[in-house]
A and B are shown apart, each in its own frame.
Chain A
Amino acid sequence: MDIAILAPAAVLIVWSLIMLFWMAATRFPAMAKSGADLAKAPPGGRGSDLEGVIPDKVNWKSHNYTHLMEQPTLFYATVVILALVNAGHGLNLYLAWAYAIIRIIHSIWQATVNLVNVRFMLFIASTVCLLIMATNALWATLF
């Protein structure tokens, strides 16, 4: 098993949890400021109900946290596959690190400046990394 490729996956998992804390650290003060009271909130509320209630910039952290629970799940599956078939080295290893690093930059961008065209470019760049890894995984498992 190629253990090395598991490192960028672990990095991205830790980063996702950092985003969770960043979201919480900005959201709770913003909720307090807007007069929202968790104790008096009606049952069934969700994070997205805060759209328009607290500043957009605060919600951007939450948008990114949600985003990190989407495509990266494919990344984790792909990394495990590559590790299990001993293909987690060389190009695949570089691509996995590139994916993790670009996703971290994407997070910082979405949580701060959030100009959509740059965010889109970062997303495309990371997706291309994943696409090549996934194709290599297909190749390694079919033949």
Chain B
Amino acid sequence: MENSLLLQPMVALILWTMLIWLWMYVTRIPAMNKAKIDSANLVGGKGGDLDELLPPEVQWKAHNYNHLLTEPTLFYAICVVLILSGQDYGLNLTIAWVYVGLRVLHSLVQVTINRVLFRFMLFSLSSLCIIALAIHAAIAVFH
């Protein structure tokens, strides 16, 4: 089978997530050293515990990384449904790229200025893309 073009936005968002993962550690590890956290003997604990110890801008990277592992999981599932049902071209392909573009912008806002209003607007717009894709997927599999 010819590779579906819809696989491209999926992979793009996966790699973007890993880039935010890298951004998280590049800022987190120096901040942990600066906060004098004895990581050699640290037992237990979660990344979220660092919210109380590290500067907010550093944790914003982690917040966004976590965020990228919540709603986008639906995006991946819907893309697979669209590919397997042969609806992986045209408008759906455009919407998928728009979703990825909006999520990249959302990441950039959250890890830098993090104005909640902008973040919310970008998140709402990207969610509309998910809703549209999900409706198309529903039509494809139930119709």
Contacts and interface: CB of A to CB of B under 8 A. Distances in A.
Is chain B a partner of chain A in the same complex?
yes
B10 A77 contact: yes
A84 B3 contact: yes
A138 B80 contact: no
Contacts of A114: 43-44
Contact of B69 (A73, A81, A127, A130): A73
Interface of B: 1, 3-4, 7-8, 10-12, 14-15, 17-18, 21, 39-46, 66, 69, 72-73, 76, 80, 83
B69 A140 contact: no
B3 A85 contact: yes
Contacts of A74: 14, 17-18, 69, 76
Which bucket holds chain A's interface residue count? 20 to 34
A135 B3 contact: no
Main secondary structure of the interface of B (DSSP, over half): helix
B12 A138 contact: yes
Main secondary structure of the interface of A (DSSP, over half): helix
Contacts of B12: 138
Given A73-B76, A74-B69, A134-B18, A81 B42 contact: no
Interface of A: 1, 56-57, 60, 63, 69-71, 73-74, 76-78, 80-81, 84-85, 113-117, 120, 127, 130-131, 134-135, 137-138, 140-142
A27 to B, nearest CB: 16
